[in-house]
């Protein structure tokens, strides 16, 4: 009798293990349906593979996405676009079961086509799956860009949009005009505390010295007559932009005008919705 109980116990354990393996395979197949839905830009398939009460975050989400309609608005690819996901591969795939609930974790390596050409990147994803009426369906997800892809993106030269370039150049000019105009409030916003600047006269200046020099210039009665940047080249890496420019300006002090010109390399950082200027290096030609 004891021997029979052991056999039955082993049989039950094996059956339970087989059930979990079947569940693993079902969830993995379901994930493939989702990825194929993105590759084929099949909106109907994407809707069918996600729960009506879906919750979570997708890549770039700023708030919780609620319900299948919210998911579809945030994720459905344009069927007319030639760009998008072309292939995928899963790595570090893991599932933990809690009854008819499963927590799925994996990294997805994606091949996609963008306007600039083929792109490879990785996503780090956790999915919530629930089993209803004998079938598994995705009920939630949290999708973020994998750190290795984030680093690669930051190290890749980018191109600012026309609006982005315009805003950057306006911020640059605002820094110069705020200094000449001794606008301390604006200078403190544009030139952050961590600023290190190599001035044309040699040496390094930090925020306090830069603000102080603006005060001294104003006390001397120096006024800006004109300011221009005849040529500017920009390198952009994510939220960082480096400007290489030639500059010319004319100032007036005590009724006498003088012209200055030279080259400048300026570092700008996009922070809290605006460009700030935490560093620069100026080389000046002789004043005229």
CB neighbourhood size of 68 (10 A)? 16
Instruction: Quickly state the pLDDT bin for 60 (edges 50, 70, 90).
Output: confident
CB neighbourhood size of 126 (10 A)? 16
Q: What is the pTM of this model?
A: 0.67
Is pLDDT above 70 for 106? yes
Considering only the C-alpha atoms of the chain, give the largest distance between any 2 of them, rounded to a whole number of Å. 114
pLDDT at 196: 97
Asked: is 2-154 a CATH 3.10.450.50 domain? The reply is yes
The secondary structure of residue 262, as a DSSP letter, is E
Residues of CATH 3.10.450.50 domain(s) within the chain? 2-154, 162-284
Sequence-ordered strand ranges (E) for the chain: 50-57, 65-66, 84-98, 101-114, 117-132, 135-145, 196-198, 204-205, 223-237, 240-253, 256-271, 274-284
Question: How many Å is the Cα radius of gyration of the chain?
Answer: 30
The domain made up of 162-284 has a fold known as: Nuclear Transport Factor 2; Chain: A, (3.10.450)
pLDDT tens digits, 156-180: 888 888 999 999 999 999 999 999 9
pLDDT tens digits, 221-238: 999 999 999 999 999 999
The gap from C-alpha 31 to its chain's centroid, in whole angstroms, comes to 26
Is pLDDT above 50 for 243? yes
pLDDT at 67: 97
Read off the pLDDT of each residue in 175-198 and give the average, rounded to a whole number: 97
pLDDT at 11: 39
Read off the pLDDT of each residue in 110-137 and give the average, rounded to a whole number: 94
């Amino acid at each position: 009798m004891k021997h029979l109980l052991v056999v039955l116990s082993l049989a039950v354990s094996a059956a339970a293990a087989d059930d979990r393996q079947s569940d693993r395979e079902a969830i993995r197949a379901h994930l493939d349906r989702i990825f194929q839905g993105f590759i084929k830009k099949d909106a109907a398939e994407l809707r069918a593979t996600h729960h009506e009460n879906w919750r979570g975050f997708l890549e770039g989400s700023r708030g919780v996405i609620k319900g299948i309609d919210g998911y579809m608005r945030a994720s459905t690819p344009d069927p007319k676009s030639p760009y998008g996901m072309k292939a995928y591969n899963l790595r570090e795939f893991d599932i933990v079961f809690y009854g008819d609930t499963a927590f799925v974790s994996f990294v997805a390596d994606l091949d996609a086509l963008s306007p600039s050409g083929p792109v490879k990147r990785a996503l780090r994803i956790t999915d919530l799956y629930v089993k209803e009426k004998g079938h598994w369906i995705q009920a939630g997800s949290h999708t973020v860009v994998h750190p290795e892809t984030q680093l690669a993106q930051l190290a890749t030269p980018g191109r600012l949009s026309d609006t982005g370039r315009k805003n950057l150049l306006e911020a640059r000019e605002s820094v110069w005009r705020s200094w000449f105009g001794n606008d301390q409030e604006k200078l403190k916003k544009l030139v952050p505390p961590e600023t290190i600047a190599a001035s044309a006269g040699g040496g390094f200046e930090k925020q306090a010295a830069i603000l102080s020099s603006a005060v001294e210039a104003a006390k001397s009665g120096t006024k800006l007559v004109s300011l221009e940047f005849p040529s500017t080249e920009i390198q952009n890496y994510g939220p960082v932009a480096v400007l290489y420019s030639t500059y010319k300006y004319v100032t007036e002090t005590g009724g006498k005008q003088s012209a200055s010109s030279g080259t400048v390399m300026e570092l700008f950082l996009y922070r809290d919705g605006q460009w700030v200027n935490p560093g620069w290096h100026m080389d000046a030609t002789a004043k005229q």
